[in-house]
Amino acid sequence: MQPILIILLVAAALATLFVLIRGVVGLANNQSPERSQELMRKRVMYQAVAILLAVLLLLTFGTR
């Protein structure tokens, strides 16, 4: 269970980083505000998933 959680946590963190970089690049290129909002919502969602996975991982390590 723990290796799966670690892999999912890394994937969620990388997805967050990818969307964050796309958002910053979009802001630098004067992207439309709607697109910026969409990327911000995705980033927040990926961050929430990463935090949830981190909590689950800590809980599983704490039960040893």
Q: Say whether pLDDT at 64 is over 70.
A: no
- pLDDT tens digits along 4-58: 999 999 999 999 999 999 999 998 898 888 988 999 999 999 999 999 999 999 9
Minimal CA–CA distance to 5: which of 62, 50, 45? 50
First to last CA, the chain: 13
Which pLDDT value is given to residue 27?
87
More confident position, 1 or 16: 16
Lookup: tokens for 3: 């290796």
Phi and psi at residue 32, to the nearest 5°: -65, 145
**Angle subtended by helix axes 2-28 and 33-62, to nearest 10:** 160
Q: pTM score, two decimals? A: 0.85
